[in-house]
Amino acid sequence: MFYDNDCNVNFIKNKIITVIGYGSQGHAHALNLKDSNIETFICLKEESKSINKAKNAGFKILKIEDAVNVSDILVILIPDEEQKSLYYNYIENKFKKGKTLIFAHGFNIHFKQIIPKNQFNIILVAPKAPGHTVRSTFQEKNGVPALIAVYQDYDKNSLNIALAYAKCIGSSRVGLILTTFKDETETDLFGEQSVLCGGVSSLIICGFETLVEAGYSPELAYFECLHELKLIVDLIYEGGLQDMRYSISNTAEFGDYLISENYYYIVFKKKMKKILNNIQNGEFAKNFLLDKSVNFLKLNSFRTKYQNHLIEHVGKKIRSMFSWNYKKIIH
């Protein structure tokens, strides 16, 4: 683990940094760097809807050609599927020797979509939270943990640059973990697919459908399988699984262990090993990039299917009942 005292901001203090992208992570990194007195520019497409937001925040917007020419460090925070084109069209033959590329996710490097020239420093700084949390915790004089990694170390200062950058976005206040592009990419994809997004979404929808198909009201099914999930997640987030189990009833705790041992653990572990294998062997990346090549035909089909699911219609009605969402729903 690395912390503030391990990080020397002088390694980037006099560098010109351009953040490419001003979305969830992009705006957070850029604003935190700016507040850390690091000269920071923003690079966006001419038609980007984020240009005015970035300008209003006090940033100068650079065209990609200018960003590549003047910057010492380029921070690539655009979607994974757009990074290969950006690199080969604008960076590969125009970025000067000894300069640095920083990624927040190792997807393109690890899966060889980008094979960088060996004359660049290639670094990973991946905060483990959405961008708005990276920003809000920084403003509270705190931060979120981050993973850091070095893929290429041309000038022998890459780790120091990663540490300095991580300090300037607030992550070294709470802790930095040294890893590799490979491990960050594979564990990140696995967590998203098997638990955080794919796993949780599937459990919610399957539970909801099971109750509705058994004759229970959709509203009741929504409360039991989706709405109350936040109560459990908050307990887990703050104190781990054991604190959550301490806080729930004996009935709920007994059911937790019983179902885990007799059903979920046995079935899910086998499925998760297959999910991990498909990530490790590149099958998932291949399918994702193939879908991108046909304008995300499958992704858009999935979006349409699940946006029209009964749980979404019921959920909109249920959420309108709560004060925290009332104004947003009616407006």
Q: What is the pLDDT averaged over residues 222-233?
A: 95
pLDDT of residue 331: 41
Of the listed 27, 29, 105, 110, which one is catalytic? Answer: 105
pLDDT tops 90 at residue 279: yes
- For the domain made up of 192-321, give the CATH fold: N-(1-d-carboxylethyl)-l-norvaline Dehydrogenase; domain 2 (1.10.1040)
Length of the chain measured in residues = 331
For the domain 4-179, what is the CATH code? 3.40.50.720
Is there a binding annotation on residue 158? Answer: no
Q: Quickly state the pLDDT bin for 149 (edges 50, 70, 90).
A: very high
Are 135 and 27 spatial neighbours (Cβ–Cβ below 8 Å)?
Answer: yes
pLDDT of residue 330: 44
pLDDT tops 80 at residue 220: yes
pLDDT tops 80 at residue 324: no
φ, ψ of residue 150 to 5 degrees: the values are: -120, 125
The CA distance from 201 to 282, in Å, is: 23
Q: What is the pLDDT averaged over residues 271-300?
A: 96
Are 49 and 24 spatial neighbours (Cβ–Cβ below 8 Å)?
Answer: no
The CA distance from 68 to 76, in Å, is: 12
Is there a binding annotation on residue 202? Answer: no
Beta carbons within 8 Å of 181's beta carbon, 6+ residues apart: 103, 106, 109, 110, 124, 149, 151
Is there a binding annotation on residue 219? Answer: no
Q: What is the pLDDT averaged over residues 133-159?
A: 96
pLDDT tops 50 at residue 46: yes
Is there a binding annotation on residue 230? Answer: no
pLDDT tops 50 at residue 329: no
Is there a binding annotation on residue 22? Answer: yes
Count of CB atoms situated within 10 Å of the CB of 74: 27
Q: Quickly state the pLDDT bin for 323 (edges 50, 70, 90).
A: low
Instruction: Give residue 26's identity as a one-letter amino acid code.
Output: G
Is there a binding annotation on residue 45? Answer: yes
CA angle 288/289/292 to nearest 5° reads 90
**What confidence tens digit (pLDDT) does each residue in 154-213 have?**
999 999 999 999 999 999 999 999 999 999 999 999 999 999 999 999 999 999 999 999
Beta carbons within 8 Å of 179's beta carbon, 6+ residues apart: 124, 147, 148, 149
Question: Is 27 one of the catalytic residues?
Answer: no
Q: Quickly state the pLDDT bin for 263 (edges 50, 70, 90).
A: confident
**What confidence tens digit (pLDDT) does each residue in 47-60 have?**
899 999 999 999 99
pLDDT tops 80 at residue 326: no
Residue ranges of the domains in the chain? 4-179, 192-321
Is there a binding annotation on residue 201? Answer: no
Is there a binding annotation on residue 167? Answer: no
Percentage of the residues of the chain whose pLDDT score is greater than 90 = 92
pLDDT of residue 321: 83
- The rounded mean pLDDT for the chain is 94
pLDDT tops 50 at residue 101: yes
Q: What is the pLDDT averaged over residues 60-78?
A: 96
For residue 240 the two structure tokens come to 């781990």
